[in-house]
Chain A
């Protein structure tokens, strides 16, 4: 081999080695790598459902200003024995009751003794005792509590997720198109909770008002605004206690609801003033009448015809409570919170069986 040939081979060898080195470097070590950290997923915000408060328009020919008159009478023992609803509840072993979670004195969770308590809850316990007489001593074991906001109540009854609702539920013509009610067991009066006393609707000028979604007071205020457009509503909250939070945070000036629930709130906030103004009767056009408009609380029940006997059974328990002093005893037990045992006393039931 000539010297020139050797040199050329040498050159080619050197260049080849360099190329190989570069290739090895590029292939083996050049690829960048990430930190290997786990990708953080975006937190989806907690989903919130907007419950349907049910029908709000008053059906023609029905008057909310008068006490309910079509209560189902208590059934006979033979009817009771054949009632499929009672049989279903007893088979399930628990009475499913919708209660309020934030109405002090009527239905709220006691964080200290870990139980629901209040006048409504005690009424539901009386019903449960009648359904499960053998378990009267440990009746809470026979009740499945379902805390519900105002707007959730109608839907819960319609879906059948509760057997009854005991949660400051006013009997109204509009609601009766969706659900059924027991005989009235308490009478409440819509009013205001404010930092100073409200004596008339004019006192609401310039005030900001908070109401709970699906409450009768919210519907009444909406009707009143037709004739009193100066009445503002600035907050509509899912729970009435959210209104109290806004009130204490000075975001609203007034909370509107029934005196039964606002009475408990007045205890929760000693700086608040209740009433004394109470809502007058208001028609669908927003016209007011003289006097005050009572609201009758009833236990919310399923409207199905099959539940008619159970409704009568519940009415029978309520009537027994009213007449044997149980109602008064319970009312007095909670009177330091919210109940008024004189103005709140229910009228005698007006039984009128209808063919529905």
Chain B
């Protein structure tokens, strides 16, 4: 179709002007191309660039999402699980050591439980060190201990304290791992000394146990908690990466831009060529829309999967309940050993009791005192966990009653505390296993929703580009 912007054609067609004013000649390949063809080429470039941009955005976002979800499945969730396990295993080991002391002669089950807890904590430390990329698993502990002692100023005329000369609780994951890898063997050594002395009825055994527990409470457990907090932050970051909105906005904007370009080109072609429809361009537009719809649907589904059932929340709540329960148990048993003393095990137990009661009321529908338990305790049932928690706390409260007599009752109280907290632990572990299974299935579901998205959308966009290119090529061919 002739264009009014082209002077030579206008001169030829114009009846009056024989010679139009001569424009300065412009040289160059682009200027040598007819205007219609130039416009068509502009459409080609805009269409392909728009689609390429949108396609790249979609494929990149899909890759990033997949990486984030993979990170949750393969790195942060196992790290968080390990961190909680370290915390819980160490708390359990301390409680078992106290229980064995109170029972007089350590049973094989108690020893096996203690050894298993320590092994779990140590292997968890190695796992965490690998996951965090920390090289602090086998440091020069002797040098580290010397530095710590120097930093703590445990020298001449130190103030009276029950705590051994250890450093302050670590504040980062590397330092926490160093503390764990260096101090867990020290703790085990102190417990071994306590055992050896207890077998000979030597009261210094209780002093070794006290020192071991002090080391656990003042240095090792805070380090484990630091590690858990670090793992939680990583998990949270991974979750935010896997659900962040920036990518969705980028895809929506890029996709909308591409579709607008395609619509504009379609309309322009209809206007310029008087062909109402370019089927290839329409196919490209539909392919683009399909790719966008798939991507947005997959992202929405992935996000819904990740937040379904509270994400890691239920498992974390159970982990938190576990370590609070272990600490409460340990407090009650250590109070029973000291039966008073300067270390306020009773106050700490009461603080943990309040925390557990508040958590159980909020998360596990704990019945208020005086109400009957919600049916027979069944493993993993939330109301059962609440009832078991109440039983365990009741046993602990009895154990720290200063009016309860020493003597055989001490062993009986300890046995009751141990049994009730063991029942709670069993129920919590069962519920935790199910919560973890649910969590893993949600992550797997999220991965499944993203599976093939990057490749599939790349193929769709490639087809769209090819289709649009073909449609435009045909229009260009019309001018030849």
Partner of A25, one of B202, B225, B249, B311: B249
Residues on the B chain within 8 Å of A39, using CB: 232
Q: Does B21 make an interface contact (CB < 8 A)?
A: no
Which residues 316-356 in B have Cβ within 8 Å of A in the complex?
A: 316-317, 319-320, 327, 337-345, 347-348, 351, 355
Contact A32 B406 (CB under 8 A): no
Q: Does B407 make an interface contact (CB < 8 A)?
A: yes
Contact A37 B236 (CB under 8 A): yes
Expressed in whole angstroms, the Cα–Cα distance for A147 and B205 within the complex equals: 16
Most chain B C-beta atoms within 10 Å of own C-beta, residue among A7, A10, A242: A242
Residues on the B chain within 8 Å of A45, using CB: 217-218, 222
Residue of B nearest to A25 (CB): B252
Contact B341 A147 (CB under 8 A): yes
Expressed in whole angstroms, the Cα–Cα distance for A303 and B263 within the complex equals: 101
Residues on the A chain within 8 Å of B405, using CB: 140-141, 144-145
Expressed in whole angstroms, the Cα–Cα distance for A239 and B210 within the complex equals: 11
Partner of A101, one of B193, B225, B338: B338
Interface size of A by Cβ–Cβ distance < 8 Å?
75
- Once A46-B344, A111-B198, A146-B402 are accepted as A-B contacts, the answer to whether A36 and B311 lie under 8 Å apart by CB is yes
Contact B317 A33 (CB under 8 A): no
State the Cβ distance, A49 to closest chain B Cβ, in Å. 5
Residues on the B chain within 8 Å of A234, using CB: 155-158
Expressed in whole angstroms, the Cα–Cα distance for A10 and B267 within the complex equals: 10
State the Cβ distance, A42 to closest chain B Cβ, in Å. 7
Contact A148 B343 (CB under 8 A): no
Residues on the A chain within 8 Å of B222, using CB: 42-43, 45
Expressed in whole angstroms, the Cα–Cα distance for A45 and B225 within the complex equals: 12
Contact B252 A146 (CB under 8 A): no
Q: Does B240 make an interface contact (CB < 8 A)?
A: yes
Contact B263 A102 (CB under 8 A): no
Contact A33 B243 (CB under 8 A): yes
Contact A37 B316 (CB under 8 A): yes
Q: Does B411 make an interface contact (CB < 8 A)?
A: yes
- Once A29-B303, A31-B245, A32-B240 are accepted as A-B contacts, the answer to whether A49 and B342 lie under 8 Å apart by CB is yes
State the Cβ distance, A149 to closest chain B Cβ, in Å. 6
Residues on the A chain within 8 Å of B217, using CB: 43, 45-46
Contact string, A9-43, partner B, CB cutoff 8 A, digits 1/0?
01000110010011001101111111111111111
Expressed in whole angstroms, the Cα–Cα distance for A354 and B320 within the complex equals: 61
Binds B, one of A112-120, A178-186, A343-351: A112-120
Contact A149 B342 (CB under 8 A): yes
- Once A36-B307, A115-B406 are accepted as A-B contacts, the answer to whether A109 and B239 lie under 8 Å apart by CB is no
Partner of A26, one of B252, B267, B347: B252
Interface residues on B, range: 35 or more
Residues on the A chain within 8 Å of B307, using CB: 33, 36
State the Cβ distance, B247 to closest chain A Cβ, in Å. 9
How many A-B contacts if CB must be within 8 Å? 236
Contact B211 A22 (CB under 8 A): no
Partner of A50, one of B296, B342, B355: B342
Expressed in whole angstroms, the Cα–Cα distance for A241 and B240 within the complex equals: 53
Contact B235 A237 (CB under 8 A): no
Residue of B nearest to A218 (CB): B160
- Once A48-B344, A235-B158, A241-B207 are accepted as A-B contacts, the answer to whether A26 and B248 lie under 8 Å apart by CB is yes
Which residues 191-208 in B have Cβ within 8 Å of A in the complex?
A: 193, 197-198, 200-208
Contact A238 B313 (CB under 8 A): no
Expressed in whole angstroms, the Cα–Cα distance for A145 and B407 within the complex equals: 9
Expressed in whole angstroms, the Cα–Cα distance for A269 and B238 within the complex equals: 55
Contact string, A224-257, partner B, CB cutoff 8 A, digits 1/0?
0000000011111111011011001000000000
Partner of B225, one of A32, A38, A40, A140: A40
Which residues 200-236 in A have Cβ within 8 Å of B in the complex?
A: 213, 232-236
Expressed in whole angstroms, the Cα–Cα distance for A29 and B198 within the complex equals: 62
Which residues 58-88 in B have Cβ within 8 Å of A in the complex?
A: 72, 76, 80
Partner of A34, one of B105, B161, B211, B239: B239
Q: Does B364 make an interface contact (CB < 8 A)?
A: no
Partner of A48, one of B162, B236, B310: B162
Binds A, one of B39-47, B253-261, B385-393, B465-473: B253-261
Expressed in whole angstroms, the Cα–Cα distance for A102 and B338 within the complex equals: 10
State the Cβ distance, B252 to closest chain A Cβ, in Å. 5
State the Cβ distance, B299 to closest chain A Cβ, in Å. 6
Expressed in whole angstroms, the Cα–Cα distance for A149 and B232 within the complex equals: 42
Expressed in whole angstroms, the Cα–Cα distance for A130 and B273 within the complex equals: 122
Q: Does B244 make an interface contact (CB < 8 A)?
A: yes
Residue of A nearest to B190 (CB): A245
Contact B204 A102 (CB under 8 A): yes
Contact B312 A37 (CB under 8 A): yes
Partner of A14, one of B80, B193, B263, B338: B263
Q: Does A51 make an interface contact (CB < 8 A)?
A: yes
Most chain A C-beta atoms within 10 Å of own C-beta, residue among B207, B259, B313: B207
Contact A145 B339 (CB under 8 A): yes
Residue of A nearest to B304 (CB): A29
Q: Does B229 make an interface contact (CB < 8 A)?
A: yes
- Once A104-B203, A234-B156, A242-B211 are accepted as A-B contacts, the answer to whether A112 and B105 lie under 8 Å apart by CB is yes
Which residues 255-277 in B have Cβ within 8 Å of A in the complex?
A: 256, 259-260, 263, 267
Contact A14 B203 (CB under 8 A): no
Contact A33 B202 (CB under 8 A): no
Expressed in whole angstroms, the Cα–Cα distance for A116 and B409 within the complex equals: 13
Q: Does B228 make an interface contact (CB < 8 A)?
A: yes
Residue of B nearest to A37 (CB): B316
Most chain B C-beta atoms within 10 Å of own C-beta, residue among A43, A116, A151, A239: A43
Q: Does A265 make an interface contact (CB < 8 A)?
A: yes
Expressed in whole angstroms, the Cα–Cα distance for A21 and B161 within the complex equals: 66
Contact A37 B338 (CB under 8 A): no
Contact A35 B341 (CB under 8 A): no
Residue of A nearest to B251 (CB): A25
Contact string, B112-137, partner A, CB cutoff 8 A, digits 1/0?
00000000000000000000000000
Q: Does A44 make an interface contact (CB < 8 A)?
A: yes
Partner of B299, one of A15, A29, A32, A236: A29
Further contacts, 14 of them, CB under 8 A, given A18-B260, A37-B311? A14-B260, A14-B263, A25-B252, A36-B312, A44-B351, A46-B344, A47-B343, A48-B344, A50-B160, A114-B410, A147-B339, A151-B342, A234-B155, A242-B210
Tell me the B residues contacting A by CB distance below 8 Å: 72, 76, 80, 101-102, 104-105, 155-163, 193, 197-198, 200-208, 210-211, 214, 217-218, 221-222, 225, 228-229, 232, 235-236, 238-240, 243-246, 248-249, 252-253, 256, 259-260, 263, 267, 296, 299-300, 303, 306-307, 310-313, 316-317, 319-320, 327, 337-345, 347-348, 351, 355, 402-403, 405-408, 410-411
A-B contact pairs, 24 of them (CB 8 A): A21-B252, A25-B252, A29-B300, A30-B246, A33-B303, A35-B235, A37-B235, A40-B228, A43-B225, A43-B327, A46-B218, A48-B342, A48-B344, A101-B338, A102-B206, A109-B406, A110-B201, A114-B104, A140-B405, A146-B339, A147-B339, A238-B341, A242-B211, A248-B193
Tell me the A residues contacting B by CB distance below 8 Å: 7, 10, 14-15, 18, 21-22, 25-26, 28-51, 101-104, 108-116, 140-141, 144-149, 151-152, 213, 232-239, 241-242, 244-245, 248, 264-265, 267-269
